[in-house]
Amino acid sequence: MGNCIPVSPRVLESSTFFDLMDIIENFSMSENYSSVDYTDAKPCHNSYCLIFQHVAPTFLATACALAVLSNLVLLVALSKCHHVWSQPHGKALVAQLLVGSGLFTLLLPIFATSIWYGWKLGMGPCKLVHVLWHWSLFAQGLLVASGFCTAWRRWDRPSQRLAVVVWAVALLLAMPAGFTSGTVANSEVSCILRKVEILSPAYLAQLTIYLCFFLLLPVAVAVGRLAVPWLRKGWEAASWVPWIFFSLWVPYSMGLAVELLLHVQVLQPTCSTFEHFDFALGLCKALGVLHCCLGPLLLLFARLQHYQRRSRSMARAARTAPEGT
C-alpha cells in the first residue's frame, strides 16, 4: 500500500529539494534523524514508510481474519440455503465470487508477513504472489460485470464456457504484475509491486489495465444496462451490491493516475505534495482491500432481503387469489 518503495516519485532537485526515497533510506539507517547532514538544506520529511511498516501488517492481519469469517458465512449460506440464491446472482456466480474473494484473502497473511519480517522466498514466488493477487482481483471484477448474463442462471455448458473465459481473461490481465513486481534490498529484502520505473512499458500497461478495469468497465456496463432493454429485465434492488467492489477500488485507480501525472510533472511536484500523496494512496489501497471483508456479507444480506420480499409478495398473491376467482 502506498509508495514505500525505492522507485517512489522524485521531488524537484534544487538546493532545497532532495530525492524523497534517498532521504527515507537515510532515515531507516539511522535511529537519530538529526545526525543526517543535509548541508543546511530543507529536506522533505516523509514519515509514511515508518508508519506503513508498523500499521500495514496489523491492518492486513485484521482484514484477513474478518474476510475469513465473512467468506465462511457466505459459504455456509451458499451450501445450506439453496432457496435464497436465485436471479440475478445464481449459485454459479456467487460460488466463483467466493473463490476469488477466498484467494485474495489467503494472500493477505503473506503480504503482512513480508512487510513485518522481510521477504525470504526469492524473486519467483514474489512475482507469483502478485500475479495471483491480481488474478483474484480481476476475476471478481469480471464476474461482477458479467452478473447480468443469463448464463449464470444454472451451471450448464454455456455457464462453464463463460467461467473459463472470465478466469482466463483475468489471468491475462494479471500478467503485467509479474513483469513489474520483484524483490529489492533496502534495509531488508522486500517484495514490491512496482520494481520498475513508472514510465516503463510494463508498468504503463498495468496502469492502463487498472484505469480501464476500475473506471471504464463499470461505467460501460452500467450504461449498457440502462440502454439495452433486455439487460434491464434482470435489474433488481440487490443488483447494486456487487458493485461495491468497483466503488472500493476506484479511489486507488485514480490515485495511480495522479501518481503518473506527478511523475511526468503535469501536476507540480512539490515537497508538500509527496509528503501527503503516499498516505492518500496507501489509504485508497487499504479501502480496496476491505472488499474481501464487506463484499460477501453485503451480498448475503441483500439476497436474504430479496428473498424475504419475494416471499411476502408470493404470500400476498396467494391470499388475494381466491378473492379474484
CA angle 140/166/83 to nearest 5° reads 65
pLDDT, position 4? 58
Q: What does the pLDDT read at residue 69?
A: 96
Tell me the DSSP string of 192-215: ES--S-TTSHHHHHHHHHHHIIII
From the first residue on, what is the mean pLDDT of each consecutive set of 10 residues in the chain (325 residues)? 47 36 36 38 64 88 95 90 65 89 94 87 90 95 82 80 94 92 75 81 92 90 72 53 86 91 80 79 93 90 76 71 54
Angle, nearest 10°, between helix axes 201-211 and 244-263? 140
Give the Å distances, CA to CA, from 68 to 108, 201, 322: 11, 36, 48
Contact 94, 299 (CB under 8 A): yes
Percent of the chain with pLDDT over 70: 75
The predicted pLDDT at position 139 comes to 95
- Considering the entire predicted model, what is its pTM? 0.81
The pLDDT of residue 305 = 78
Question: Residue 226's pLDDT is what?
Answer: 74
Task: Indicate the Cα dihedral angle 86, 89, 91, 95, nearest 10°.
Answer: -160
Rounded to 5°, the CA angle 185-172-199 comes to 50
What is the CATH code of the structural domain delimited by 20-294? 1.20.1070.10
Grid cell of 34 as nine digits: 538529526
- Tens of pLDDT along 49-108? 788 888 999 999 999 999 999 999 999 988 887 777 765 457 888 889 999 999 999 999
Q: How far apart are CA 225 and CA 146, in angstroms?
A: 11
Burial class (CB in 10 A: 0-12, 13-18, 19+), 287: middle
Euclidean distance between CA atoms 260 and 262, whole angstroms: 5
Question: How many CB atoms are located within 10 Å of the residue 187 CB?
Answer: 12
For the chain, what are the domain ranges? 20-294
Angle at 56 between CA 50 and CA 60, to 5 degrees: 170
Residue 230: the pLDDT is 58
Q: Detail the DSSP E strand segments found in the chain.
A: 182-185, 189-192
What pLDDT, on a 0 to 100 scale, did the predictor assign at position 40? 40
